[in-house]
């Protein structure tokens, strides 16, 4: 992506951002919005990322970015100090010294019709996909549910996901019969096991999400055996949401005419896995 126009003020940029991902669509528990930055500062280069880490901030500053838009809020949970001996305080100080603002587009970016789950649904080529939890605006809401044009086995769906997602230490993990035919797919980019009991999820052949905990997964599998329900595919939280960044960048460029770059760093916290070979 390349720079096409001079800079705007941060306030102007954020007005445009709010048209793309309205803060009014933020979940009550979330902390989307401006984290660091002077609304009067000039902005000419925007860098997109999933996670605000020391490495991703260093990448943004090296590229000359004066605004980071991250998907995950740095200050999602309350803090009582921003001392530089803490990693959050250190990152905030680094951003301020580097003249770089920070904005979080989280559930407000999940809920729009071109959000994180919608992007994953499009890449999986789901037809007629719609939100799982639609809000007051048609087409807006968390998660997606749609249909494959041609039924696939659960194994084929998992393989397709593995080919779409950026490489991480752990690829898609599956609970279900690999030969089960799947047509109706529900999904939630990010942590979505709270939606396991949702009626549209229960009517699906497969539910795709991240960070599925042991007990909800076990209970869902057992319930499916008794009364029917979806197979589960658990994917990397980072990887699922990274897929959205290119689209978000294109939307920002079209809206603002500024230079937008996308981080290609893998900020998934898991770095490798070990599997036992052979048996005693």
Residue-range domain boundaries for the chain: 8-109+244-262, 116-236
DSSP 169-222: SS--EEES-TT-EEEEEEEEEEE-GGGTT-HHHHTSSEEEEE---HHHHHHHHH
Helix axes 245-256 and 10-20, enclosed angle (nearest 10): 120
Instruction: Give the count of beta carbons closer than 10 Å to the beta carbon of residue 24.
Output: 12
Does domain 8-109+244-262 sit in CATH 3.40.640.10? no
Token duo for residue 22 = 């309205």
Look over the chain and give the mean of its residue pLDDT values, rounded to a whole number.
Answer: 94
The residues pairing with 261 across neighbouring beta strands, listed in sequence order, are 47
Per CATH, 8-109+244-262 and 116-236 having the same topology is answered: yes
Least Cα distance to 145 among 170, 171, 124 occurs for 124
| Percentage of the chain exceeding pLDDT 70 | 97
Strand duo 181-191 + 206-210: pairing = parallel
pTM of the model: 0.93
Q: Would you state the pLDDT for residue 280?
A: 60
Q: Among the CATH numbers 3.40.1390.30, 3.30.2320.50, 3.40.50.10860, 1.10.3720.10, which is that of 116-236?
A: 3.40.1390.30
Does 3 score more than 60 pLDDT?
no
DSSP code at position 156: H
For residue range 126-148, what is the model confidence (pLDDT) as tens digits?
999 999 998 888 889 999 999 99
Integer-rounded Cα Rg, in Å, for the chain is 20
Cα–Cα distance for residue pair 41/11, rounded to 1 Å: 8
């Amino acid at each position: 992506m390349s720079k096409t126009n001079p800079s705007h003020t941060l306030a102007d940029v954020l007005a445009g951002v709010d048209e793309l991902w309205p803060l009014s669509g933020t979940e009550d528990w979330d902390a989307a919005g401006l984290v660091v930055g002077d609304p009067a500062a000039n902005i000419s280069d925007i860098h997109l990322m999933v996670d605000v880490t020391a490495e991703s901030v260093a990448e943004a500053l090296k590229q000359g970015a004066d605004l980071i838009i991250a998907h995950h809020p740095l200050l999602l949970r309350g803090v009582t100090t921003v001392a530089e001996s803490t990693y959050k305080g250190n990152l905030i100080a680094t951003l301020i010294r580097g003249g770089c603002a920070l904005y979080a587009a989280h559930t407000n970016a999940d809920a729009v019709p071109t959000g994180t789950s919608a992007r994953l649904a499009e890449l999986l080529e789901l037809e007629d996909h719609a939100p799982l939890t639609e809000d007051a605006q048609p087409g807006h809401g968390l998660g997606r549910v749609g249909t494959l044009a041609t039924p696939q086995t659960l194994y084929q769906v998992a393989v397709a996901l593995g080919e779409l997602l950026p490489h991480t230490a752990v690829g898609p993990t599956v609970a279900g019969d690999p030969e089960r035919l799947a047509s109706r797919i529900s999904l939630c980019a990010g942590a979505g096991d709270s939606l396991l009991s949702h009626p549209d999820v229960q009517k699906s052949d497969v539910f795709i999400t991240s960070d599925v905990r042991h007990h909800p997964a076990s209970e869902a599998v057992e319930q499916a055996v008794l009364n029917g329900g979806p197979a589960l595919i658990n994917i990397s939280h980072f990887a699922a949401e990274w897929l959205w960044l290119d689209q978000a960048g294109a939307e920002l460029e079209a809206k603002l005419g500024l230079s937008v770059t996308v981080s290609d760093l893998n900020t998934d916290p898991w770095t490798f896995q070990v599997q036992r070979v052979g048996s005693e």
